[in-house]
Structure 1
Amino acid sequence: MKEAFPEMRSETYNPQYIATVRWSIVILFAAIAVVLLRFFIDTLSEPSTDTASDMIFFLLFLIAGSLSGWLVYEMMRNQDEKIIGLLINHQGILFLNKHNKVLSAIKYYDLVKSDNPYTKDIFSESATNGKYGSFRKNLYVHQKDENRQPQKKLVGLDVIPLKNRYDLIGHFLKGVQMFRPDLKINPEVYKDFYLDEKALRYTPENLKSDMKVKIITIAVVILVILAFRYFFLDEI
């Protein structure tokens, strides 16, 4: 059974492209920090300026500078401890470093059933809370915590930029069906990750249709707000 289950590896973008983007962001934050520091120094040289404004410039400088420094640290820290690839096989999802050493894993046989009768064992949930939180979903499973109680766990595939995110999710779910048929998958998972429910393969057509609906919805909401603003408020 294990030998019949094929492996699937993550596909990422060109490392040079990713490095260029990351360093560009670092330079941008560093430049913003320098500009804010200059504004802060200029305000200090003018006694008539408000102290609150001085502190705002200084606070923004600290934020931009800290972000720039943190990004540099993240890029330069021990590469052996950084996840650079994912592998899905008969064990589950393996998170690998540049030497293909397993740093962490979500294994099929470590998964447990949900103790909530209203929650499936494997389900999807909004990546963020709020008004537009449902626009992106994450996959969740259940594992036992330190008290041996079922606890939901994020299947964090977004630790690296992925080109085949939905393919990986589909392959993982295929492994769940093969090795853990006792676990129940919420049917919404297939819809949220644009998977064919039978083959568990990513179908780009579903993503395109979903994006069209979301774009149209946003456009309609904007038009309604503008119409209310210019046609109704002006009459009050």
Structure 2
Amino acid sequence: MKESFSEMRSETYSPEYIARIRWSIVILFAVIAVVLLGFFIDAVSHTSTDTASDMIFFLFFLITGLLAGWLAYQMIRNQDEKISGLLINHQGILFLNRKEKILSEIKYQDLIKSKDSYTKDIYSESQNLGKYSNFRKNLYVHEKDETGKPKKKLINLDVIPLKNRYDLIGHFLKGVQTFRPDLKIDSEVYKDFYLDEKTLRYAPDHLKSDMKVKIITIAVVILVIIAFRYIFLDEV
């Protein structure tokens, strides 16, 4: 069975392209920090200006400067400690560095069943709950924590920019079906990640249909808000 289960690797954008984008962001924040510092120096040189306004410029300078420095550090720190690729095989999901060394992994054998009768063993959920929830879904499984108790675990594939995110999720689910048939997968997972339930491959048509529904929903909400504003509030 292990020999027949194919591997799937992550498909990412070229490292040079990603590096250019990241360094552009660093430079942008650095330029903003320099401009804010200039505003602060100019403000404090005029005693007639408000001290509170001066401190606001200085505060924003610190924030943007520190952010630029942190981003630059993340760019130049030890590349061998950074995830640069994903591999899904008969073991599970392997997070690899540029030298193909495993930095972390999620193994099929470590997954456990949910203790909550209302929650499937593998399910999808919005990144934020309640009034701050959004359309984007994440995949969750269950593992044991340090004390041996079940806990939910996020399958975070967004640690690097991916071209084949949904195919990777589908291949992971295929591995679950193959090696852990005792685990139950919520049927909503296939819809949330635009997968064909039979092949577990990414189905672009499902994404297009979902995007149309979301766009229409957002448009209707905006129209309702506008109508409420101009029809009902004007009568008050």
Q: TM-score range by the shorter chain?
A: over 0.9
Which ranges of structure 1 fall in alignment gaps of 5 or more residues? Answer: none
Partner of 1:53: 53
TM-score (norm 1): 0.96
Other structure's SS at 2:152 match: strand
- Cα offset for 1:221? 1.4
Partner of 1:177: 177
Q: Distance in 1 between matches of 2:231 and 2:115?
A: 52
Q: Distance in 1 between matches of 2:34 and 2:227?
A: 42
- Cα offset for 1:46? 2.1
1:79 partner amino acid: Q
1:10 partner amino acid: S
Deviates more, 1:225-234 or 1:198-207: 225-234
- Cα offset for 1:3? 0.3
1:69 paired with 2:69, answer yes
Superposed CA RMSD? 1.3
1:149 paired with 2:149, answer yes
Q: Distance in 1 between matches of 2:96 and 2:128?
A: 26
Q: Distance in 2 between matches of 1:57 and 1:82?
A: 34
Partner of 2:233: 233
Residue by residue over 1:32-54, the C-alpha shift from the partner in whole angstroms, topping out at 9 and shown as x without a partner, is: 11111111112212222222222
User: Are residues 205 and 132 of structure 1, via their aligned partners in 2, closer, same or farther at CA, if it must alter by over 3 Å?
Assistant: farther
Query: 1:145-224 alignment to 2 at 5 Å?
Result: 145-224=145-224
1:28 partner amino acid: L
Q: Distance in 2 between matches of 1:133 and 1:162?
A: 23
- Cα offset for 1:130? 5.0
Partner of 2:133: 133
Residue by residue over 1:68-101, the C-alpha shift from the partner in whole angstroms, topping out at 9 and shown as x without a partner, is: 1111111101011110000000000000001111
| Residue correspondences, number | 236
1:203 partner amino acid: A
Q: Distance in 1 between matches of 2:96 and 2:188?
A: 29
Partner of 2:11: 11
Other structure's SS at 1:36 match: helix
Residue by residue over 1:130-172, the C-alpha shift from the partner in whole angstroms, topping out at 9 and shown as x without a partner, is: 5462310111111110001111111110000000000000000
Residue by residue over 1:76-131, the C-alpha shift from the partner in whole angstroms, topping out at 9 and shown as x without a partner, is: 01011110000000000000001111110000001111111111111111123454
Identical amino acids, percent of aligned pairs: 78
Please list every run of at least 4 consecutive aligned residues from structure 1 whose deviation after the TM superposition is greater than 4 angstroms.
Answer: none
Q: Distance in 1 between matches of 2:54 and 2:117?
A: 55
